Amino acid sequence: MTCGAAFIYSTKFLDYHFHSDHPFNQRRVLLSKDLLEKNKLLSKSDITEPRMATEDELALFHDKVFINAVKRAGTSDLSDDECMEYGIGTEDTPAFPNMHEASSYLVGGTLTAVDSVLQGKSEHALNLGGGLHHGFKRKASGFCVYNDGAIAINYIRQNYDLKVLYVDTDAHHGDGVQWAFYDDPNVCTLSIHETGRYLFPGSGHINERGIKEGHGYSFNLPIDAFTQDESFTQTYETALREIADFFQPDVILTQNGADAHVNDPLTHLCATMETFEQIPLLAHKIAHQYCNGRWIALGGGGYDMWRVVPRAWAQIWSVMKTGDIQSGDLPPDWQSEWQSKSPVTLPVTWHDEKQIIPNIPRKDDITEKNDKVLQSALKYTNNKLNEML
Amino acid sequence: MLVEEIMKTNVYTLPPTATVADALQLLKENHIRHIPIVDTEQQVIGIVSDRDVRDASPSIFADHTNYQAFNNEIQSIMSQPVTTVHPLDFVEEVARVFYDEEFACLPVVSENRLIGMITEKDMLYTLIQLTGTNVQSSQVEIKVPHKPGILPEVAAVFGKRKTNITSVLMYPYNDDPNYKILVFRIQTMNPLPVIQDLRDAGYNLMWPNNIAEPKV
């Protein structure tokens, strides 16, 4: 019997911690959860405790040698050569104590979310601890060790045999998940991100469309640096609607990196909270239109953990739970709880004032370029749709 | 980089007595644009392009198509003598030949025998590898005075942070001969510490730059 949504959470998510100066900080999940609780949107009965993913489950995507390397990295030292080979011990993904266990809990969280939705315990499920889309088969990269999204998709394919639409709105290209299903026509990936011209990882061109049977099932929307709300949401909405119509998914898995925001230190996009309201609203709509509501949402990037991530992620849950976004003032006890710990002034409202956006002289050019990207990315979907008519 | 490192060794050839129809089929089946014509000793005696073959084919507008044209021998339309390159030639030299001679393809010949082909497309692919955009990385652009020792000076900043450099390009700054732009692609998702170090050291960053001005 379906009843609403499941919020997957455990304090074990906070153990995924590189070091105190690292931009990726899972306290974001706690801040988001606390905001929801103080706003009376989340109660104990909504929360599902995750399990730890088993090694066999990790091996649905990762090589055993890599899993072993992660296990050893968490307890002892890897050699320099091994560090290079497996992407561990770099500035981006340094080793930390019990790395394997902490990473396995994030994956377990996503698998718990999948089971909750696909076993009919809830219509939607949210694991803000997941969304680590840069992880590769045998290499950690870009703050990601195990790729919970890719593991979850293989898990869905193997146990439930459903067609999966993966939608990635992180400002960085969802490369790990894209390459994992590049030749698979049963998994459609859509990533909207800042162009890789300057930004990590550099991939995610429009012409990365998949290979072999999977050709035409990989979509990329590399939008320009300094893109603002209007152009971002317009591009995202048109693409998601058309691609969902073309692909007819059975279940939607979204990665909700919150680093496209103007305040984010690592990227150069200029979105405000408006974008992070539209993203879950449309995902929710599409899930009900095509998938009987089956929607699993994950976290992801987001490096302004005080001003941006808690509000953006809380809106996903709000949409799952109430069907709508929150507006007006944030609960004041949330600010009083966290302000003393935050180096920046915490926001007081759910939305952002437009003044936080700098003046971008090239706004019209950027919008025009993004439109072209959109048309080009959807070139073949349009053709296929026309053929069917 | 040497020609033998980037050439294709799986080459489709025809004998001089093959027909225009044979050539057309070979081009179509293998998605290629050039066919080297070789004798029994694998010596290159001519070359035909897809355009040569099309010129020799009947027009799609002709009312009474003369299919005889397809039966002409390929040696009647092949270009000769053929400019070839050696496997140990430098890729830079080959690029020069492509540019000057306006060829799109060169047979690679060693000891008078055809051993490979190199095309403009292979060249461009190599160029993409040289830019480093084919591996996970972030880009940083720095304007520096054009003087000896500047490159190791800047590179040391990355080295100190243990940031792996994927590729380095150097190009002119507009028309000003006193400056150069250094483009680094570095293997990190978080370039902020390195960027801070570069700024602290007084380098002029072209990207990321702070062009965004406050609205109010």
What is the residue-level pLDDT of chain A in tens, covering all 389 positions? 456 999 999 999 999 999 999 999 999 999 999 999 999 999 999 999 999 999 999 999 999 999 999 999 988 778 888 888 999 988 899 999 999 999 999 999 999 999 999 999 999 999 999 999 999 999 999 999 999 999 999 999 999 999 999 999 999 999 999 999 999 999 999 999 999 989 999 999 999 999 999 999 999 999 999 999 999 999 999 999 999 999 999 999 999 999 999 999 999 999 999 999 999 999 999 999 999 999 999 999 999 999 999 999 999 999 999 999 999 999 999 999 999 999 999 999 999 999 999 989 899 999 999 999 999 999 988 765 555 55
Sign of the four-CA dihedral A351, A353, A357, A360: positive
Query: Would you say residue B215 lies in a domain?
Result: no
Q: How many CB atoms lie within 10 A of CB A72?
A: 17
Answer yes or no: are the C-beta atoms of B74 and B22 closer than 8 Å: yes
Q: What are B77's two structure tokens? A: 């339309």
Q: Are the beta carbons of A366 and A194 closer than 8 angstroms?
A: no
State whether B110 and B149 are in the same domain.
no
Which of A198, A208, A272, A355 to mutate: most B Cβ within 10 Å?
A198
Give B103-131 as a DSSP string.
Answer: -SEEEEEETTEEEEEEEHHHHHHHHHHHH
Interface residues from chain A to B (CB-CB < 8 Å): 22-23, 90-92, 134, 141-143, 172, 175, 196-203, 226, 265-266, 268, 270, 354-355, 357-360
Mean pLDDT of chain B: 91
State which residue of chain A sits closest to B158, comparing Cα positions.
A91
- B154 with B195, same domain? yes
Separation in Å, CA of B199 to nearest CA in chain A:
16
> Taking CB atoms and an 8 Å limit, are A358 and B213 in contact across chains?
yes
Q: Describe the crossing of helices B120-131 and B91-101 by its angle, rounded to 10 degrees.
A: 130
The answer to whether residue B10 neighbours chain A at the CB level (below 8 Å) is no
Decide if domain A5-388 falls under CATH 3.40.50.280. Answer: no
CA A213 from chain centre, in angstroms, equals: 26
Q: Which amino acid is at A74?
A: G
How far is it, in rounded angstroms, from Cα A284 to Cα A124?
9
Distance CA A260, CA A278 (A): 13
A chain contacts of residue B213, beta-carbon cutoff 8 Å = 358-359
Q: For residue B208, list chain A residues with Cβ-Cβ distance below 8 A.
A: 198, 268
**Residue B216, domain member (yes or no):** no
Side-chain-facing half-sphere of B46: CA atoms under 13 Å: 18
Predicted confidence at residue A383, as pLDDT, reads: 62
Radius of gyration of chain B (CA): 25
pLDDT at B67: 81
Kindly indicate the confidence band of residue B215, based on its pLDDT and cuts at 50, 70 and 90: very low
For residue B45, which phi and psi values (nearest 5 degrees)? -115, -5
Partners of B179 in the beta sheet? B145
List the structure tokens of B147.
């003087």
Tokens of A270: 């200029």
Give the closest of A201, A355, A358 to B137, CB-based: A201
Partners of residue B188 in chain A, C-beta under 8 Å: 90-92, 200
- Say yes or no: B115 and B10 in one domain: yes
B163 shares a domain with B115: no
DSSP states of B32-58: -SEEEEE-TT--EEEEEEHHHHHHTSP
What would the pLDDT profile of B56-106 be if each residue is shown by its tens digit? 988 888 777 678 889 999 999 999 999 999 999 999 899 999 999 999 999
CATH of the domain at B175: 3.30.70.260
- C-alpha to C-alpha distances, A337 to A208, A310, A349, nearest whole angstrom: 45, 14, 16
Sheet containing A187-194: which strands, arranged edge to edge? A47-48, A5-8, A124-127, A295-298, A251-255, A164-168, A187-194, A218-223
Identify whether residues B99 and B202 lie together within a single domain: no
| The pLDDT of residue B216 is above 60 | no
Burial (0-12, 13-18, 19+ Cβ within 10 Å), B209: exposed
Question: Could you tell me if A245 and A385 are in contact, meaning their C-beta atoms sit under 8 angstroms apart?
Answer: yes
**B8 assigned to some structural domain:** yes
Q: Report the domain count for chain B.
A: 2
Give the whole-angstrom CA distance, residue A256 versus residue A236.
13
Distance CA B140, CA A183 (A): 33
A227 interaction partners in chain B (CB closer than 8 Å): none
Main-chain dihedrals φ then ψ at residue A303, nearest 5 degrees: -115, 5
DSSP assigned state of A191: E
Same domain, B153 and B79: no
Position B202 in a domain:
yes
Find, among A89, A86, A105, A83, the residue nearest to A16 by Cα.
Answer: A105
CB-CB under 8 Å, B193 with A91: yes
Each residue's pLDDT tens digit, A123-171: 999 999 999 999 999 999 999 999 999 999 999 999 999 999 999 999 9
Does A91 contact B192 at a Cβ distance shorter than 8 Å? no
Indicate whether B214 belongs to any domain.
no
pLDDT mean over B39-62: 92
Pairwise CA distance, residues A229 & A378, whole Å: 21
Angle of CA points A202, A203, A208, to nearest 5°: 160
Whether residue B212 is contained in a domain is answered as: no
Q: How far B195 CA lies from chain A's nearest CA (Å)?
A: 11
Q: Is A266 close to B139, i.e. CB distance below 8 A?
A: no
* DSSP at A199: S
Residues B191 and B117 in one domain: no
**Higher pLDDT, residue A342 or B129:** A342
Of A141, A226, A265, the CB nearest to B192: A265
- Residue B34 within a domain: yes
Residue pair A174/A244 in contact by the 8 Å Cβ criterion: no
Same domain, B112 and B188: no
Task: List C-alpha distances in Å: A81 to A11, A40, A78, A85, B129.
Answer: 34, 50, 8, 6, 23
Q: What is the pLDDT of residue A6?
A: 98
**Are B144 and B86 found together in one domain?**
no
Contact status, residue A270 vs residue A357, Cβ threshold 8 Å? yes
Whether residue B211 has pLDDT greater than 70: no
Tell me what pLDDT residue B214 has: 45
Alpha helices, DSSP H only, in A119-228? 148-159, 175-180
Q: What pLDDT score was predicted for residue B45?
A: 97
Interface confidence, given as ipTM, is 0.80
Query: Are A223 and A239 contacting, i.e. CB atoms less than 8 angstroms apart?
Result: no
B102 and B143 share one domain:
no
Looking at the complex, does the CB of residue B136 fall below 8 Å from at least one CB of chain A?
Answer: yes
Task: Write out the two tokens for B104.
Answer: 């799109």
- Return the closest-CA partner of residue A132 out of A79, A175, A90: A175
User: Residue A1: its pLDDT value, please?
Assistant: 47
Chain B residues closer than 8 Å to A202 by CB: 133-139, 185
pLDDT of res. A306: 98
Cis geometry, peptide bond prior to residue B208 (ω within 30 degrees of 0): yes
Structural domain containing residue B56: 3-128
pTM value is 0.88
Q: Are A135 and A153 in contact (CB under 8 A)?
A: no
